[in-house]
Structure 1
Amino acid sequence: MRKTQITIDVELDENHVPETMTWNAEDGGIEKQETKATMISVWDDKKSEALRIDLWTKDMPVDHMKMFIHQVLLSLASTYERATGEEDIADWLEVMAEEYAQKAAIKM
């Protein structure tokens, strides 16, 4: 069996707010790549619930956060279809993502 690791390093200010973040994914050739935001979700099988960590740096522009959320919503639709094969629900999620983009006034 082979193991791999993905890590996120977060530098905090005096108020424990993220100032900088970098991530590493050895298998993907990513080393100390800077990022302004991350969302990590894991499934707790015992409690049947999603656990998550959402972090963003204090200099993450709001318009970039809106675009990030939009792209996460689109990726959820894709993941859902791959995992379930339910194209109709995935399509609905994509429509919802586009409605979000319009309401959030995202410039694409």
Structure 2
Amino acid sequence: MKKAEIKLIVELDEKNVPEHITWESSDSESSEALAAKAMFLALWDPHYKNSMRIDLWTKDMPLDEMKRFFYETLQTLGDTFLRAAGDDKMAEAVIGDLRDYCEHFAEKMEVTQQSQ
């Protein structure tokens, strides 16, 4: 069985506020840790049937980038759910609603939608 490791490093200031976030993967072709300004980590707890989350961002993360980060995360959550649900027609319909909301979010937050 193949194993892969993802390593997250969070450097905190004296008030435990993230100053730097880096990450690396054992599957990566790069041997260097990559910088990040924010992260959302969600894990499913099968025992309690709920999600466990860690949401962090560095103190120098600009608000405009945070808005973009939320927008892109919402978009990709829809993509992930569609892959997980397969041919479920209800999932496809609900993801259409999520896409509509993402457009609304982008407009209200003044996030420029870029092609992905």
TM-score class normalised by the smaller sequence: over 0.9
* Partner residue, 1:29: 29
Q: Which position in structure 2 is the counterpart of 1:95?
A: 100
Corresponding residue number in structure 2 for 1:46? 47
Partner of 1:18: 18
Tell me how far 1:25 sits from its aligned partner. 1.1
SS at match of 2:33: strand
**1 or 2, which has the higher strand percentage?**
1
Q: Which residue of 2 aligns with 1:71?
A: 72
Superposition deviation, residue 22 in structure 1: 0.5
TM-score (norm 2): 0.87
Residues matched between the structures, number:
108
SS at match of 2:112: coil
CA RMSD of aligned residues (A): 1.2
d(CA) in 2 for partners of 1:28 and 1:49? Answer: 30
Gaps of 5+ in 1: none
Instruction: Say which SS state the counterpart of residue 47 (structure 1) adopts.
Output: coil
1:26-84 deviation line (CA, Å, top 9, x unaligned) = 21335310110010000011111011000000000000000000000000110111111
SS at match of 1:27: coil
> Normalization by structure 1: what TM-score?
0.93
- Secondary structure of 1:79's counterpart equals helix
Q: Deviations over 1:80-103 (max 9, x none)?
A: 111113321222111111111111
Question: Structure 1 CA distance, aligned partners of 2:64 and 2:38?
Answer: 13
Between the aligned partners of 1:78 and 1:66, the Cα distance in structure 2 is: 19
